[in-house]
Amino acid sequence: MRRDFLRGVASAAVASLGTRVGAASALTPSSGQLARPDPRTTPTPTGARGAIDRADTRQALLSPLYPQANRHRAVLDLSGLWAFQIDPGQRGEHERWFDRLPSPRAIAVPGSWNEQYPDLDGYFGPAWYWREIELPADWAGRHLRLRFGSATWRARVWLDGRLLGEHGGGHLPFEFDLGRLAADAAVDEPVRRILAVEVDNTPSPTRVPPGAIGGDGGNYPNVAYDFYPYAGLHRQVWLTALPDPAIADFRITTQRIAAPSQSSQSSQSNQSTQSDRADRADRADQATARVTLRVDAPADWSGHGRARLWAPPPALGTALASGPVRTPFTGAPAPNAPTMDARAGNEPAGNGSASNKPPFNVPAIGTPAIDVPLRFTDGVADRTFDVPATRWWSPGDPALYRLRIELLGDDGRPVDAYEDEVGLRTIAVHGDRLLLNGSPIQLRGFGRHEDFPANGRGLNTSVAVQDLALIRWVGGNSFRTSHYPYSEETMRLADREGLLVIDEVPAVGLFFSDAQPLIDARLAQVRRQVDELIARDKNRACVILWSLANEPMDDGFVAGAMRGKVDGTDGYKARGRRFFDALFAHARSRDDTRPLTIAHAPFSDGSWQEHSDVLCLNRYGGWYDNHGRLDQAMPGITSELDALHRRTGKPIMLTEFGADAIAGMHAIGDSVWSEEYQMRMIERYLDMAEARPWIVGMHVWNLADFRTAQALGRPGGFNHKGVFTRDRRPKMAAHRLRARWRPSP
């Protein structure tokens, strides 16, 4: 969100809180612990011939485990062409469109409907998806679940004319427990099920992220954030068949149990010398991982199981060879620097060719395994064990262990199994440093968006692979999921590629100028988003910070945007503090193993960052102010950062900085919108950060141009701050970043 983007937003037109949002939290209040959706809340199903029995509930469940097919589990991917019809008059439920659509057309799932048909470009209201399903005959008697990867914003789901429930908020998975398919459903005559979904993305100030916060406004669509509000079923729809009992969830956490060295014990300063860093790198190799594993099964099950951990294959090639320490934002060799193992978190020297890229590590069955017996009591098993000769996951060596969890029957044979790839690593804040595996790490990379022609925000794994490859090509080691959780495939790919991730909930465009009940309603939504995000991504090694909001707005800014129609007092500051006090406490109760942050804008009140472990700032001096005058803009940026560091002593990161550039526009001087000006502005910010070791990260905004609402300052309805175009062609800034971050030896 940007000042020029929101100036056209008029006074708030507050709607009633009639929106039902139905994701039931299944998280326990204990620190850092997550629980499974409790099967005890679902009545034991009984059914007639061919019937699917399900709980009479209107709430969707958390869906922490990615669907997986193996000898015990079956998966039916419902992606493809569905029947589709918009419902601007909201007649569908009354006219029973869940039985059959009156005038359907085809639509692709996953995908955004706004990109698939020209007449739907500006439509965000209710729309219906419909398809038939024939269940496999061998699924009879198995426990069924219906899972949606993402539906933006509200989804209501019917099966065979019966409302299963609903879910509010996009970008995160949810599911419905369908119970068991009756055993006599396996008949010769196929039984077809009718699945219907109503999706509604109408902008509303009561939703997170908020929209329709003004009257006529100056932006179209009228939303409080600077990206396009794509609508639809954006990720896969899965039908899964599970055994009974079935693994419901698991969580793995890691500690380093090596004793600290003499040099780190004697250090009394936040400053970290090169020898300190090399020493920590050596100890990262020598340290042993102490792993805590929690496995959840049905709450009434008390039986046995086992967990097996296979070591990653040996590192191959020259990618992991030791090399000179390089300064984080220029890539130049540090003066008088010792060597550092790549596993400390810095990239090895190299020109970015394929031979210098870390190998794609797939843990291999057959290598020695750690076997851990599990004993379940009331559906929970907890074990702690050590992993000798630990391969620590890092950008230089994204080593992944293969974890297989099994539930055992009375005869000792597996009745269910689930596998995942897990990286063993630690992340912590120490003074004004961010430590990965006990060693300082500096983040270099980008904010980005899930945005591409034709599919909009719909899952496109080819684009995800390309984007992460481009981050590596430029020399980056990280990205932020701005401003919503990205697909599970992207997160798993980041694990494999060794990219560090700031994982962000969709809490963008928050403001505190309206009535307390509306603020409380938004807080409840963000809490639920935090629950769902942590449940989904808790086991991803790549996730090193949770970001709880992006650019919350203070009343001074809102007053300018809303033409003075706020309360005119400082009450919003206290309301915002209460909001973030509660939100940070809630997030820490869900996961106490990762630092927390919010991305702070100049128009965000400083007190709202009090609980942030890393101070993340979005700053655009030289673009939104002092545009075209970098010499005048930079002193203000540097003085602000220096003062903030002196006052807090915390690590600081710029999560956004950059300038728009129209591809192909060139200029000799500092002319805004030119590729040269974008390149120079990015370089000035990187130079500034290079002199300040407590700046632990620099994320350029943005990796690629992306679609947004139409407004003055957004030519063609696009934000042009990408260093690549929307179709991923590099601008001058991309080549300059590559020269800085991946210089030739």
Residues 72-85: tens digit of each pLDDT: 999 999 999 999 99
Mean pLDDT over 386-392 rounds to 94
C-alpha closest to that of 400 among 311, 472, 320, 465: 311
C-alpha closest to that of 63 among 452, 537, 591: 537
Per-residue pLDDT tens digits for 148-186: 999 999 999 999 999 999 999 999 999 999 988 654 454
CA distance 659 to 721: 5
Element (H, E) at 587: helix 571-590
DSSP string, 641-655: HHHHHHHH---EEEE
Mean pLDDT over 309-331 rounds to 55
Exposed, middle or buried, 330 (CB in 10 Å: 0-12/13-18/19+)? middle
Pair of tokens at residue 283: 């100890």
Residue 16 has pLDDT above 80, yes or no: no
Residue 102 has pLDDT above 60, yes or no: yes
Strand order across the beta sheet in which 174-180 lies: 23-24, 60-61, 174-180, 143-148, 237-242, 74-77
Q: What is the pLDDT of residue 206?
A: 85
Residue 127 has pLDDT above 80, yes or no: yes
CA–chain centroid gap for 654, Å, is: 18
Model confidence band, residue 590 (pLDDT cutoffs 50, 70, 90): very high
CA–chain centroid gap for 205, Å, is: 23
Pair of tokens at residue 498: 């060794």
Q: What is the pLDDT of residue 323?
A: 35
CA distance 109 to 612: 38
Exposed, middle or buried, 266 (CB in 10 Å: 0-12/13-18/19+)? exposed
3-state percent breakdown (helix, strand, coil) of the chain, nearest 5: 25, 30, 50
- 24 contacts: CB under 8 Å, gap ≥ 6: 37, 41, 59, 60, 61, 62
- 697 contacts: CB under 8 Å, gap ≥ 6: 434, 442, 443, 444, 445, 478, 614, 653, 654, 655
CA angle 329, 546, 19 (to 5 degrees): 135
**In terms of DSSP H, where are the helices of 135-252?**
none
Other CB atoms within 10 Å distance of the CB of residue 728? 17
Percent of the chain with pLDDT over 90: 66
Model confidence band, residue 213 (pLDDT cutoffs 50, 70, 90): low
CA distance 168 to 155: 7
**In terms of DSSP H, where are the helices of 600-730?**
630-648, 675-690
Residue 324 has pLDDT above 90, yes or no: no
Residue 42 has pLDDT above 50, yes or no: no
CA distance 231 to 287: 47
CA distance 533 to 483: 13
Q: What is the pLDDT of residue 317?
A: 40
Backbone phi, then psi, for 419, in 5-degree steps? -120, 150
Model confidence band, residue 187 (pLDDT cutoffs 50, 70, 90): low
Cα 159 to Cα 53, 180, 510, 708: the distances in Å are 11, 14, 35, 35
CA distance 7 to 219: 9
Percent of the chain with pLDDT over 70: 77
CA distance 587 to 568: 31
- 737 contacts: CB under 8 Å, gap ≥ 6: 474, 475, 476, 682, 700, 723
Per-residue pLDDT tens digits for 607-655: 899 999 999 999 999 999 998 899 999 999 999 999 999 999 999 999 9
C-alpha closest to that of 213 among 455, 553, 440: 553
Residue 55 has pLDDT above 60, yes or no: no
Helix (H, G, I), strand (E, B) or coil at 446: strand
Q: What is the pLDDT of residue 25?
A: 30
Residue 265 has pLDDT above 70, yes or no: no
Angle (deg, nearest 10), helices 488-497 and 461-474: 30
pTM of the model: 0.85
Q: What is the pLDDT of residue 18?
A: 30
C-alpha closest to that of 315 among 399, 395, 425: 399
Residue 270 has pLDDT above 70, yes or no: no
Q: What is the pLDDT of residue 59?
A: 73
Other CB atoms within 10 Å distance of the CB of residue 164? 23
Catalytic residues: 551
DSSP count for the chain of H helices, then E strands:
12, 36
- Which range is least confidently modeled, 57-61, 194-198, 715-719? 57-61
When comparing pLDDT for 5 and 484, which is higher?
484
CA–chain centroid gap for 525, Å, is: 16
- 545 contacts: CB under 8 Å, gap ≥ 6: 427, 502, 503, 594, 595, 596, 597, 613, 614
Long-range pairs for 673-680 at CB < 8 Å and ≥24 separation? 673/720, 675/731, 675/732, 675/733, 676/732, 677/628, 678/721, 678/723, 678/731, 678/732, 678/733, 679/731, 679/732, 679/733, 679/736, 680/630
CA distance 648 to 121: 46
Residue 215 has pLDDT above 90, yes or no: no
CA distance 454 to 97: 27
Per-residue pLDDT tens digits for 554-581: 765 554 444 444 454 567 888 999 999 9
CA-based radius of gyration for the chain: 26
> Which of 134-148, 188-202, 208-222, 442-456 is modeled with the greatest confidence?
442-456
Q: What is the pLDDT of residue 514?
A: 82
DSSP string, 409-442: -TTS-EEEEEEEEE----EEEETTEEEETTEE--
Q: What is the pLDDT of residue 316?
A: 52
Element (H, E) at 556: helix 555-561
Backbone phi, then psi, for 113, in 5-degree steps? -70, -25
